[in-house]
Amino acid sequence: MRDLVRTRATAVRVAGKARQHLQGFLLRHGRIYPGKKGWTKAYRRWLTTVRFAHPAQQVVLQDHIHAVTDAEARIERLTRQIADLMPGWSLAPVVEAVQAMRGFGMGLGPCMDGSRVTRGSAIFGNWSGAAMYSASRLRFARAP
């Protein structure tokens, strides 16, 4: 499980870099999204309307878009695999106990109660990787 969680964390970083490369390419060519927030459905619709006069630039744009979608698909695939394997893992009861605390989820998406992912859930994703490494060495910190 530790390796699977680490691989997912790497996939998240790769997806961030792919988005950064795409945005850098667009910025270098003066293509600026008129909306307020990127990576929304509206932003993705806008990406489908971006066109370049030179075919090579259009190929590069499509390659960047494909890199982002491939990276996101990889994250989803790894997330499903973690969720599928979690119940059979020896530390699943510990994970469930920590998830029961407010603000902690699996770090893989929305928390069990349907709320948005919080900083706590992202920390838990990292914590669960540490738990996979050595459950006997974990120490719980007291809340302030």
Q: For residues 61 and 115, what is the distance between their CA atoms, to the nearest angstrom? A: 34
pLDDT tens digits along 56-115 = 999 999 999 999 999 999 999 999 999 899 888 888 888 788 877 766 666 544 444 444
Beta-sheet strands, E only, within the chain: none
pLDDT digit string, tens, across residues 50-72: 999 999 999 999 999 999 999 99
| 11 membership: H or E segment, kind and range | helix 2-28
Contact at 8 Å (CB) between 89 and 95? yes
Give the separation between CA 93 and CA 103, rounded to whole angstroms: 18
| Domain coordinates in residue numbering, the chain | 1-88, 89-144
Tell me how far apart the alpha carbons of residues 109 and 117 are, in angstroms, rounded to a whole number.
Answer: 6
Percent of the chain with pLDDT over 70: 70
